[in-house]
Amino acid sequence: MTVSMRVMSAGDGYEYLLRTVAAGDGDRSLSTPLTRYYAEEGTPPGFWLGAGLSRLGHGELESGGRVSEAQLQLLIGMGHDPITGQALGSPYRKYTSVQERIDRRIDALDDGLGPAGRAERIALIEAEEHDKGTRRAVAGYDLTFSVPKSLSVLWGVADAGTQALIADAHHTAVAQVIAFFEREVATTRVGAAGPEGSVAHVDVAGVVATAFDHYDSRAGDPQLHTHVVVSNKVFTVQVFWFNCFLWFWSGSFFGFGRGAC
């Protein structure tokens, strides 16, 4: 099995989720209700994963439970609890756009510049800012788990019983990797200065993820793979000297969380 990772940005990342992760590997207009995806024959609905699920809502979410469109919009699109709608930790950070930075620098230009000099400086400013691009908050990570091509071909031509055995083994491997990810990899940074000045790494109490099984590639040939979309909102645990356990939602895996005991 191989695992690839794609960073999902807040805003654009949410559109990517709707177009591809939650609607097969093709593309479609966002005007099509996402709920149609769940009813399509041959394409199973998404399901929940992660040890952090128990801390959402009132504990009604369980691993393997079905993911709804509204829940996706709340968690990935807005960074909110998919059950209660409450914000999870700090809101997604907002950064100035390329055009906003250009306008700000142009407004600060010396009024004494002549037309030619001003035009030259503006062209330079625009080139520099476009090269920098727009920084975006991270909403989550799309971890794509793919079996070897030979196994996908076997799965495609096998009988239903063999297909089920292959799919079960694939799902077991995915669950084991996510458990290892939660135990050994996932962490967050905390500190009064935020992500750029965080002073400590702390453990997380699991992650919240949604998984979507796909059975073919964009070219239409057999390709068994699962998109696991891990939310960048993590539930962290800190133990203080007086044995007070503090649980709180952090803004991101590499972000800033705060809480009070």
Q: Name residue, tokens 């079960």.
A: 168
**Where in the chain are the domains?**
2-93+135-250, 98-132
Q: Exposed, middle or buried, 11 (CB in 10 Å: 0-12/13-18/19+)?
A: middle
pLDDT the model gives residue 14: 57
Beta bridge partners of 9: 138
Spatial distance between the Cα atoms of 80 and 10, rounded to a whole number of angstroms: 12
Q: Mind spelling out the 3-state secondary structure of 185-212?
A: HCEEEECCCCHHHCCEEEEECCCCEEEE
pLDDT the model gives residue 70: 80
Model confidence pLDDT, tens digit, residues 142-160: 899 999 999 988 888 888 8
Q: Is 256 helix (H, G, I), strand (E, B) or coil?
A: coil
Kindly tell me if the per-residue pLDDT of 19 is higher than 90.
no
Most confident residue range from 13-27, 64-78, 101-115, 243-257: 101-115
Which pTM does this prediction carry? 0.73
Kindly tell me if the per-residue pLDDT of 196 is higher than 80.
no
> Are 25 and 218 spatial neighbours (Cβ–Cβ below 8 Å)?
yes
Computed over every residue of the chain, the mean pLDDT equals 77
Average pLDDT on 124-140 reads: 87
Band of the pLDDT at 11, cuts 50, 70, 90? low
pLDDT the model gives residue 49: 92
Band of the pLDDT at 178, cuts 50, 70, 90? very high
Average pLDDT on 189-213 reads: 72
Average pLDDT on 73-102 reads: 87
Model confidence pLDDT, tens digit, residues 41-77: 556 778 899 988 988 998 889 888 888 878 888 888 8
Q: Where is pLDDT greater, at 90 or 245?
A: 90
pLDDT the model gives residue 123: 93
